Structure 1
């Protein structure tokens, strides 16, 4: 069974913390109105920066991983993000609770990521991963896991995609050997 690749949107795919009015190189600007955004009372559309090449990079990783959205966008990533990047509809983690307190000072998503992975190997890309999350996963998750923190000012880079490909290849070699 392939490991999971758990994909956050805001930070890794949408470098939302880049300087305002300074879209990172290679990214295009999109105005989106997902339900969560409008339900929060925002009157104007959300500005989202996406890199059109990231879809092909993620699809290339789909040979080694099962791609899954791990984002507060939940299924709306399939409606708003996937079409722009040329991705098919992907499964998503349906967070039972978003935000709030977490065990041992971890990011609120971490416990749910482990529940979703259910003992499977996984790589997780997110901008909120901390050393506490790595310790928690090492302590409680029986399979190999890669927690890859992505700078929310830059988004995914060539180095990140190479690290994901290399980690999957190492896992495949271990299973074959």
Structure 2
């Protein structure tokens, strides 16, 4: 599938890859620097391989959709085994009433490519914004609970939706 037609897997960091609490002894507790400030971060080194497998099995491209923007490639990705990924400029200053500040830049970026978005902070207004945006086609937001972060179930939901895109009608939302 051509890169400009490949589905996207959009990744948030805080609450998704960096939940509120460390979930087990294999998780890493580190300081990650963003805009010159060191933040405590907990990361699961299994998330990188899990996401790479999801990308490989579904033909989807991974991309950052996080306020960490380019810092995610330096501070988060290498610690969980992800290569450098495209970064959506979610801190671009684009905004719309009642939607998360990341939503308009994501809508501008996707260019009608189907996408799954792992996030912990999106609401009904974000879904409505995406559904009504001309640049957005099929999408699925996977709500990740910020206390526990990304789980196998979330990845399974994404895989099911992404593989359903082949030959089936695409759903929006």
Deviation of residue 103 (structure 1)? 2.0
Cα 1:105–1:49, aligned 2, differ >3 Å: closer, same or farther? same
Give TM-score, length-normalised by structure 2.
0.85
Aligned to 2:45: 52
Q: Given the alignment of the two structures, is residue 159 of structure 1 paired with residue 153 of structure 2, yes or no? A: yes
CA contact (8 A) 2:67 2:91 kept: no
Deviation of residue 96 (structure 1)? 4.9
Which of 99, 104, 108 in structure 2 is aligned with 1:115? Answer: 108
Deviation of residue 30 (structure 1)? 1.0
CA contact (8 A) 1:69 1:92 kept: yes
In the TM superposition, what whole-angstrom CA distance separates every residue of 1:134-159 from its partner, at most 9, and x where no partner exists? 11112225411011121111100111
Question: What's the RMSD between the two structures over aligned residues?
Answer: 1.8
Aligned to 1:61: 54
Q: Given the alignment of the two structures, is residue 144 of structure 1 paired with residue 138 of structure 2, yes or no? A: yes
Q: Given the alignment of the two structures, is residue 135 of structure 1 paired with residue 134 of structure 2, yes or no? A: no
Deviation of residue 125 (structure 1)? 1.1
Rg larger for: 1
Aligned to 2:13: 9
Deviation of residue 118 (structure 1)? 1.5
Higher relative contact order (CA 8 A, sep 6+): 1
Q: Distance in 2 between matches of 1:12 and 1:97?
A: 21
The secondary structure found in structure 2 opposite 1:105 is coil
Q: Distance in 1 between matches of 2:133 and 2:157?
A: 23
Give TM-score, length-normalised by structure 1.
0.83
Aligned to 2:28: 28
Q: Distance in 2 between matches of 1:27 and 1:37?
A: 24
Superposed structure 1 runs of 4+ greater than 6 Å apart: none
Aligned residues: 161
